[in-house]
Amino acid sequence: MIRGRVWKFGDDVNTDVIMPGKYLAMHDPAEIAPYIMEGIDPDFGKKAKPGDIIVAGKNFGCGSSRETAPGGLKAFGIGAIIAPTFARIFLRNAVNIGLPVLECPAAAADIREGDVVAVEMATGRITDETTGRTYQASPFPPFLQELIAAGGLIPYVRRRLGVA
């Protein structure tokens, strides 16, 4: 169970604002984690806490394929991201590295900043504990569920290569 305080963002949050280009040559997630969402709110890394949940509008993570964007969010400890839709490269990257993402238009519309939300990844059930409302995220196709259950692409490839 993932449980955290909500930070809200609008539509079309792009990877340039999630992790600006100046940090692109840094590949150590811990090094980039403090700068997440810097392009929208330079203080976000100071205000947010590990475990917090991001609820955003449509097309979250559009633009550049930089993995420092989902990588930074995961390294910071963002518990989950809820949005009506995700940009496709961001969605792949998030699943590959094990950053929990859920597509749920109703939850994304209703949930307010500061609410405390609980998320069950296995079932896609989202509970807004502040309002008492519950939501059901769109299930990912079985292929993606397997990848998520395997813990992302690294364990999946290790298994395929027969690496212990």
Q: Which of 85, 108, 128, 137 binds other proteins (CB under 8 A)?
A: 85
Task: Report the residue from 34, 39, 51, 105 that binds other proteins according to the rule CB under 8 A.
Answer: 39
Cβ contacts of 104 within 8 Å, gap of 6 or more: 82, 83, 84, 124, 126, 135, 136, 137, 138
Torsion over CA: 101, 114, 21, 73 (sign):
negative
| Gap between the Cα atoms of 50 and 25, Å rounded | 24
The stretch near other proteins (CB under 8 A) out of 43-51, 113-121, 126-134, 153-161 is: 153-161
Under the criterion CB under 8 A, does residue 154 sit at the interface with other proteins? yes
Task: Name the minimum Å distance from CB 3 to other proteins.
Answer: 27
- Judged by CB under 8 A, does residue 46 bind other proteins? no
The rounded Cα 143 to chain-centroid distance in angstroms is 19
* Closest distance to other proteins from the beta carbon of 130 (Å): 29
Q: How far is the CB of 140 from other proteins (least distance, A)?
A: 11
Contact 37, 10 (CB under 8 A): no
66 makes contact with other proteins (CB under 8 A) = yes
Q: Which of 8, 12, 116, 120 binds other proteins (CB under 8 A)?
A: 12
Using the rule CB under 8 A, is 97 a contact of other proteins? yes
Question: What residues contact 27, with CB distance under 8 A and at least 6 apart?
Answer: 68
Query: How many other CB atoms are found less than 10 A from the CB of residue 113?
Result: 10
Smaller CB separation from other proteins, 12 or 120: 12
